[in-house]
Amino acid sequence: MEVLIDIVLLSLLVATAVALVMVRGLIASIMLTSVYGLLSASFFVTMGAVDVAFTEAAVGAGVSPLLLLFTVAVIGRKERAPEGGAVLVKSLLLVVVTGALLIVGTLDMPPFGSPDAPAQTHVAPYYLQQSGAEIGIPNVVTSVLASYRAYDTLGEVLVIFTAGVAVILILASSSHRGSARLRNATVPDGSPHTILQVVGKILIPFILLFAFYVQFHGEYGPGGGFQAGVIFASGVILYGLLFGLPTVCRVLPPPVMEVLAALGVLIFGLTGVMSLLNGAPFLDYSVLADDPVTAQHIGIMVIELGVGITVASVITAIYYAFANQLEPGPN
Amino acid sequence: MSTILAWTSDACLLVGSFLLLTGALGFLRFNDFYARIHACGVTETLATALIILGLLLQSDSATPQFKLALILLFVLFSSPTASHALAKAAWNAGLRPRDNSGKRGIPLPPRER
């Protein structure tokens, strides 16, 4: 049964990818990107990677198509006619070479699910067997991500933070400062989206509540800071879409979001420094309390909170920066 | 009792699947945008509700039942709203319904014209 679902989902993925290449309208390709994200999320669920599926459903199917839509709204929805032969040959060559390299890369990979794969023989057995005694939380994914490989996770959070800073730097201009600065904007009255707003008002509190559940339940079930951050940001973005950018900017001011993005990274880094000051390696939480296992709990909670704050505020700030392109400037 | 539950559950699942099929067929066959939305929206809300109801009757413990009920509530909220959003966006973009011959000349209520 599961194999059947896998086959159907993968065929749909391939069909979506082919359609994505074939369609010319930019809006249609964006919607196909969203479909692709949703199908990938379903596929991740059947593969047992529910943590990844959360993020993919929120970012791949929701946020990134939305950012693309904002871009299309600014640049126009028609793709330019294909260029002449030379460019076509060059790009075909580039694509063929890249594709060939990727296929060559897969030849060295171990068979799917092989017990001899490096992923199963290197450090994974240690993590799986010792996690219960050393970290003491049921979700091994969280203990690997937040404790054993916390240094890698710090790198990921920094990547997200850097991406947010880069987006704001690229899109900011003299008339659009920061992610969004709507000093003179007035909230439009007489809104045309009444039904959507009413349903949104019912659903958004539960989306935000679910984000907090995912944040604080990450030690026991699928979830954690990254997933909670993107779900929280999707709730905020939904509110912004239904009620307009000025309204959501009054609820969560853009400067606050920018500061929070840095604060999350700071919380993560300072937890590592706390370990250093207590005489342990960077990000080794076991010295943060008298009992090492309790200390691991505290450390994981704190850094997941930092991750959640950074992810939620970076995605919200990126949304502000994109949506702000459509707002009239101060002049 | 359990036989009746099983039969009801099977009937719900069967009718739900049939409605899903009609929705997909309508989506492929209708030539007007609003008719297609109708095919997807109405049948899919009802079909999803029936399928979840059928699954609800099959499960015997409280946790999955509660989760299924929540999913049902979410679908009942979000699916008609999504259809409404699509139809409204199309209307605001200037798309008008066609009649069976493919012309966009259906007379509209005076206020909407």
**Cβ of A162: how many Cβ atoms within 10 Å?**
12
Residue of chain A whose alpha carbon sits nearest to that of B74: A203
pLDDT at A32: 95
Identify whether the C-beta of residue A257 lies closer than 8 Å to the C-beta of residue A316.
yes
pLDDT at A119: 77
Closest CA to A233 of A139, A299, A317: A317
**Cβ of A46: how many Cβ atoms within 10 Å?**
14
pLDDT at A294: 85
pLDDT at A83: 65
Cα separation, A178 vs A197, in Å, equals 28
Q: Is B25 on the interface with A (CB under 8 A)?
A: no
Give the residue ranges of DSSP H helices in A24-83. 26-46, 50-55, 64-75
pLDDT in tens, B94-113: 888 876 666 666 666 655 54
pLDDT at residue B47 greater than cutoff 60: yes
Mutation target vs A (from B67, B74, B77; most A CBs, 10 A cutoff): B77
Which residues in chain B are contacts of A202 at CB distance < 8 A? Answer: 77
- The verdict on a CB contact (< 8 Å) between A196 and B78 is no
pLDDT at A331: 42
- Lowest-confidence region among B57-61, B91-95, B109-113: B109-113
Q: Is A203 on the interface with B (CB under 8 A)?
A: yes
Q: Is A209 on the interface with B (CB under 8 A)?
A: no
Which residues in chain B are contacts of A199 at CB distance < 8 A? Answer: 77-78, 81
Identify whether the C-beta of residue A215 lies closer than 8 Å to the C-beta of residue A226.
no
- Tokens at residue A55, please? 């993020």
Q: What is the mean pLDDT of residues B27-43?
A: 87
Q: Is A22 on the interface with B (CB under 8 A)?
A: no
pLDDT at A61: 93
> Is the complex ipTM more than 0.90?
no
Q: Is B77 on the interface with A (CB under 8 A)?
A: yes
Identify whether the C-beta of residue A141 lies closer than 8 Å to the C-beta of residue A222.
yes
Q: Is B74 on the interface with A (CB under 8 A)?
A: yes
pLDDT at B73: 92
Give the minimum alpha-carbon distance from B17 to chain A in angstroms, rounded to a whole number: 16
- The verdict on a CB contact (< 8 Å) between B78 and A203 is yes
Q: Is A202 on the interface with B (CB under 8 A)?
A: yes
- The verdict on a CB contact (< 8 Å) between A199 and B74 is no
Residue owning tokens 């880094």: A269
- The verdict on a CB contact (< 8 Å) between A195 and B84 is yes
Closest CA to A228 of A168, A152, A146, A296: A146
**Cβ of A236: how many Cβ atoms within 10 Å?**
23
Residue owning tokens 């580039």: A94
Give A211's Cβ-side CA count (13 Å radius): 25
Cα separation, A303 vs A285, in Å, equals 10
Cα separation, B38 vs A52, in Å, equals 34
Give the type of residue at A96: V
A&B contacts, CB < 8 Å: 13
Residue A196: which of B74, B81, B92 has the nearest Cβ?
B81
- The verdict on a CB contact (< 8 Å) between B77 and A203 is yes
pLDDT at B113: 44
Domain ranges in chain A?
137-331
Q: Is A86 on the interface with B (CB under 8 A)?
A: no
Which residues in chain B are contacts of A196 at CB distance < 8 A? Answer: 81, 84-85
Which residues in chain A are contacts of B77 at CB distance < 8 A? Answer: 199, 202-203
Residue owning tokens 């590592």: A272
Residue owning tokens 């069967």: B14
Residue of chain A whose alpha carbon sits nearest to that of B78: A199
Residue A196: which of B74, B85, B92 has the nearest Cβ?
B85
Mutation target vs B (from A38, A194, A199, A234; most B CBs, 10 A cutoff): A199
Which residues in chain B are contacts of A25 at CB distance < 8 A? Answer: none
The one-character DSSP state at B41 is: H
- The verdict on a CB contact (< 8 Å) between B85 and A203 is no
Give the minimum alpha-carbon distance from A230 to chain B in angstroms, rounded to a whole number: 19
The whole model's pTM is what? 0.87
Which regions in chain A score pLDDT beneath 70? 79, 81-84, 175-176, 183-191, 328-331
Largest Cα–Cα distance in chain A? 70
Residues in chain A, overall count: 331
- The verdict on a CB contact (< 8 Å) between A203 and B74 is yes
